[in-house]
Amino acid sequence: MHAYDFRCKNCQTEFTLHYKSFKAYDEATPQCSNCQSADLARVINRINVASPSRDYSKMDSNDMLGVFESGDSREVGKMFDQIGGTSPELGAQYHEITQRLLKGENMDKVEKSLQQRENDPKSNPVAKPKTDP
Ligand SMILES: [Zn+2]
């Protein structure tokens, strides 16, 4: 089975289609799973996503590093979301990062804007959790 990732240019839905062979893919007319539009863009993932519903909570640190190194913001966002999405103690910043990544914002950009905020305490009104014992 070959998995092909697409993004619908009409409704921006991302989805994966599976074909038995390259020939089957070649002969098929892929359609959006959401709106049935055929106006699609191929999404090339550098990481090999074994299943569309990847369980990041079961990943080891090497796998996670691989996701980070892929530079795929949405994939990292999904990982963040699955690992800490239901943990309110991780704080608003964590959830902000997750949401920004899920929107496809550039990872470097998100990181830089957070660093700038850390360097300037006046622009960071959210109280930081105590790290000292
Ligand atoms: Zn669509």
pLDDT tens digit at each of 133 positions of the chain: 678 888 999 999 999 888 888 788 888 888 998 999 999 988 865 544 444 556 666 777 777 777 877 778 888 888 888 877 566 677 788 888 889 999 999 888 888 887 777 776 565 555 555 565 6
Distance 49 CA to ligand 1 centre (A): 21
Distance 30 CA to ligand 1 centre (A): 11
Distance 116 CA to ligand 1 centre (A): 37
DSSP labels for 12-69?
--EEEEEESSHHHHHH-----TTT----EEEE--SS--SSTT--GGG--HHHHHHHHH
Cβ–Cβ < 8 Å for 83, 57: yes
Predicted confidence at residue 90, as pLDDT, reads 75
Distance 76 CA to ligand 1 centre (A): 23
26/63 same-domain check:
no
Cβ–Cβ < 8 Å for 17, 47: no
39/68 same-domain check:
no
Q: Report the domain count for the chain.
A: 2
Is 72 within a domain? yes
**Domain holding 23: CATH number?**
2.20.28
Residue 34, domain extent:
2-43
Rounded to whole angstroms, the Cα distance separating 59 from 71 reads: 17
Rounded to whole angstroms, the Cα distance separating 129 from 124 reads: 13
Predicted confidence at residue 37, as pLDDT, reads 94
